Amino acid sequence: MAAAVGSIVFVVVVVGGLGSLAGAFVASLLIGIVQTFAIGLNVSITDVAAVFGIELVASGAMARLTVTQLAPILPYLFMVAILIFRPRGLMGARES
């Protein structure tokens, strides 16, 4: 079972902040909610881009992707964003 959930646990620990139990709790809730809502959405990438005012050509295979198909990689994209903008995690403390 560790092979199935091991990678998502790693993402939760990194996003929450190493050594922060509260951060891991918040990160697990956040990742779970985002992934659950992404699975429930049935919109394409073209529709999402149109909301932000970006017009995509609908002929490509990338434009036909739905948010549901991208749901499994959303936690990893979120982890990359956290590592770029807040490397210590959501509730990680700064070392002095």
Q: What are phi and psi of 94, to 5 degrees?
A: -80, 130
pTM tops 0.85 = no
Q: How far apart are CA 48 and CA 63, in angstroms?
A: 10
Domain parsing of the chain, residue ranges: 2-85
The string of pLDDT tens digits covering residues 2-61 is 777 888 899 999 999 888 889 999 999 999 999 999 898 888 878 878 888 887 776 667
